[in-house]
C-alpha cells in the first residue's frame, strides 16, 4: 500500500476504545438503560418525523433542543452545547482547550475515553492517582496544578468504572485548585445524590457533561450535551463540523424531555435493583465497591477475574472486564439490568464462583 496511506503517529491509541460485543442473552457490559423509552415518546417522534424537511440541512444551532435543555436545567440556551453523544462533547472540549503544548489531568482509575481523547487530540496527559477507596485525592489535584498547569481537569462523578460520586465540597475544592477548565463528566448524574450543575456560572471555569445514553434510555440516538458558561459554549460551537447534529436527533432530544417523570421512575427502579445486586454480592465470595451509578464494580476474593468473566459468558451473561485498567486488576463491572437480568447474573455468578472453588 502507498506510504501516503499510512496513518500519522498513533500516539499510543492502541486498538481504540471498545467494549467487546459478544452474542449472549444478558448484556450487562455497557451501562445502558435496560428499559426502552416510553411508547408515547416513540409515537411523538414518529409524528414529528413526518414534518422534518429532509431536503434541508438541520438547524445548525439546534435552538429548540438547547432551549428545552435550558428549561430543564434553569439556564440560558446559550449555556448549552449539544453533540453526538457526550463523547463528542468531550472531544470538542479537548479540540478547543487541549491540543499540542497543553495538558489535561486525569485521575485513574477513571473513564478511559478521557485519556484516549487526550491522545487523539495530542493533548499532553498528566495522570494522577485516586485514593484507596477511589475517591478523588485533592493532594493529587494540587500536584497536577503545580506540575502540569492543566488546561483541562477531568472529574468523573459518579466515576466510571468505580461507581462513587464526589461530594460537593470536593468539586468546589477542585474548582479552587485547578488552573484551567474543570470538566465534570456526569454521564450517570441522575443516580447521584447531587449535581455539579448547581455550581455552573458565567465566571466559573466549569462545564458539566451529560448524556441521553443512560438514564434517558437513548443510547442508540447518540446525543449528549454540556452546561457551562456561554463564552465556553461559543468557543465549542466554532470547532464542530457544520450541521453536526441532525434534525432527527434534535427532535428526539427535545421530545424526550417531555417524559422526565418516566425517566426518574426508571432511575428509582434501577437504584432498587442495584441494592438487590449488592445484597446478592454480599452473600458471595466477592468484594464490591459502593455505587452512585447504574453499575457495580466487584472482584472475586479468590481466583482470577478474567476467568470469572469467561465463566459468566459461558452462562450467557456479559459483564465488563476492567482488570486491565489501572489498579483494577481482577475487577469486573456489572451494569444494573432488569430484575430478570439481575437474577440471571446473580445465578450465573453463584455457579461460576462455585465452579472456581471446585477447580482449586
Residue 216 vs 259, nearer CB to ligand PMP: 216
213 binds ligand PMP (CB under 6 A): yes
* Cell (9 digits) for 172: 468546589
156 binds ligand PMP (CB under 6 A): yes
Specify whether the CB–CB gap between 155 and 205 falls below 8 A: no
CB atoms within 10 A of CB 268: 12
Specify whether the CB–CB gap between 19 and 29 falls below 8 A: yes
CB atoms within 10 A of CB 206: 25
- Of 29, 153, 160, 342, the one binding ligand PMP (CB under 6 A) is 160
Beta strand 181-185 with 152-156 is: parallel
Buried b (16+ CB within 10 A) or exposed e, 280-306: bbeebebebbebbbbbbbbbbeebebe
How far apart CA 125 and CA 133 sit, in angstroms, is 23
Question: Shortest distance, CB of residue 186 to ligand PMP, whole angstroms?
Answer: 8
CA torsion 358→23→326→334, rounded to 10°?
A: -70
Name the residue among 23, 16, 19, 114 with its Cα closest to residue 334.
19
- Sign of the Cα torsion 222, 317, 335, 268 reads positive
111 binds ligand PMP (CB under 6 A): yes
Residue 114 vs 311, nearer CB to ligand PMP: 114
Question: Shortest distance, CB of residue 332 to ligand PMP, whole angstroms?
Answer: 16
Residue nearest to ligand PMP as judged by C-beta position:
85
Stretch near ligand PMP under the rule CB under 6 A, chosen from 82-90, 141-149, 235-243, 328-336: 82-90
224 binds ligand PMP (CB under 6 A): yes
Stretch near ligand PMP under the rule CB under 6 A, chosen from 81-89, 298-306, 313-321, 344-352: 81-89
85 binds ligand PMP (CB under 6 A): yes
185 binds ligand PMP (CB under 6 A): yes
91 binds ligand PMP (CB under 6 A): no
Residues 6+ apart with CB under 8 A from 220: none
Helices 112-120 and 85-97 pack at an angle, to 10 degrees, of 50
273 binds ligand PMP (CB under 6 A): no
Residue with cell 459554549: 233
Residue 280 vs 335, nearer CB to ligand PMP: 335
How far apart CA 31 and CA 160 sit, in angstroms, is 10
Buried b (16+ CB within 10 A) or exposed e, 81-93: bbbbbbbbbbbbb
- Of 106, 177, 187, 263, the one binding ligand PMP (CB under 6 A) is 187
162 binds ligand PMP (CB under 6 A): no
Residue 209 vs 352, nearer CB to ligand PMP: 209
166 binds ligand PMP (CB under 6 A): no
- Of 29, 211, 215, 291, the one binding ligand PMP (CB under 6 A) is 211
Specify whether the CB–CB gap between 165 and 156 falls below 8 A: no
87 binds ligand PMP (CB under 6 A): yes
Question: Shortest distance, CB of residue 70 to ligand PMP, whole angstroms?
Answer: 19
- Of 86, 91, 153, 217, the one binding ligand PMP (CB under 6 A) is 86
Question: Shortest distance, CB of residue 330 to ligand PMP, whole angstroms?
Answer: 21
92 binds ligand PMP (CB under 6 A): no
Residue 220 vs 234, nearer CB to ligand PMP: 220
* Interacting residues toward ligand PMP by CB under 6 A: 31, 85-87, 111, 156, 160, 185, 187, 211, 213, 219, 224
Amino acid at each position: 500500500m502507498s506510504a501516503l496511506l499510512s496513518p500519522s503517529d498513533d500516539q499510543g491509541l492502541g486498538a481504540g476504545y471498545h467494549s467487546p460485543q459478544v452474542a449472549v442473552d444478558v448484556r450487562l457490559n455497557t451501562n445502558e438503560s435496560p428499559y426502552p423509552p416510553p411508547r408515547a415518546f416513540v409515537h411523538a417522534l414518529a409524528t414529528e418525523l413526518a414534518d422534518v424537511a429532509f431536503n434541508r440541512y438541520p438547524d445548525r444551532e439546534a435552538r429548540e433542543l438547547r432551549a428545552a435543555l435550558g428549561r430543564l436545567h434553569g439556564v440560558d440556551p446559550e449555556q448549552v452545547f449539544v453533540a453526538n453523544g457526550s463523547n463528542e462533547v468531550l472531544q470538542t472540549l479537548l479540540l478547543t482547550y487541549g491540543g499540542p503544548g497543553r495538558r489535561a489531568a486525569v485521575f485513574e482509575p477513571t473513564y478511559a475515553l478521557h485519556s484516549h481523547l487526550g491522545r487523539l487530540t495530542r493533548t499532553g496527559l498528566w495522570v494522577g492517582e485516586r485514593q484507596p477507596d477511589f475517591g478523588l485525592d485533592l493532594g493529587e489535584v494540587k500536584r497536577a496544578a503545580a506540575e502540569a498547569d492543566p488546561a483541562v481537569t477531568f472529574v468523573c462523578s459518579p466515576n466510571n468504572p468505580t461507581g462513587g460520586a464526589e461530594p460537593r465540597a470536593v468539586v468546589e475544592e477542585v474548582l479552587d485548585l485547578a488552573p484551567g477548565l474543570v470538566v465534570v463528566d456526569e454521564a450517570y448524574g441522575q443516580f447521584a445524590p447531587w449535581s455539579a450543575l448547581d455550581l455552573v456560572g458565567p465566571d466559573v471555569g466549569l462545564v458539566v457533561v451529560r448524556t441521553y445514553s443512560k438514564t434517558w434510555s437513548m443510547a442508540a440516538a447518540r446525543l449528549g450535551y454540556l452546561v457551562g458558561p456561554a463564552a465556553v459554549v461559543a468557543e465549542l460551537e466554532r470547532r464542530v463540523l457544520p450541521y453536526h447534529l441532525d434534525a432527527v436527533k434534535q427532535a428526539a432530544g427535545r421530545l424526550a424531555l417531555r417524559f422526565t417523570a418516566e425517566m426518574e421512575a426508571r432511575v428509582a427502579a434501577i437504584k432498587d435493583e442495584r441494592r438487590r445486586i449488592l445484597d446478592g454480592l454480599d452473600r458471595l465470595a466477592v468484594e464490591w465497591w459502593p455505587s452512585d451509578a447504574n453499575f457495580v464494580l466487584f472482584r472475586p476474593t479468590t481466583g482470577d477475574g478474567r476467568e470469572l468473566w469467561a465463566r459468566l459468558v459461558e452462562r450467557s451473561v456479559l459483564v465488563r472486564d476492567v482488570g486491565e485498567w489501572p489498579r483494577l486488576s481482577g475487577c469486573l463491572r456489572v451494569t444494573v439490568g432488569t430484575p430478570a437480568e439481575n437474577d440471571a447474573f446473580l445465578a450465573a455468578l453463584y455457579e461460576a464462583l462455585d465452579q472456581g472453588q471446585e477447580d482449586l
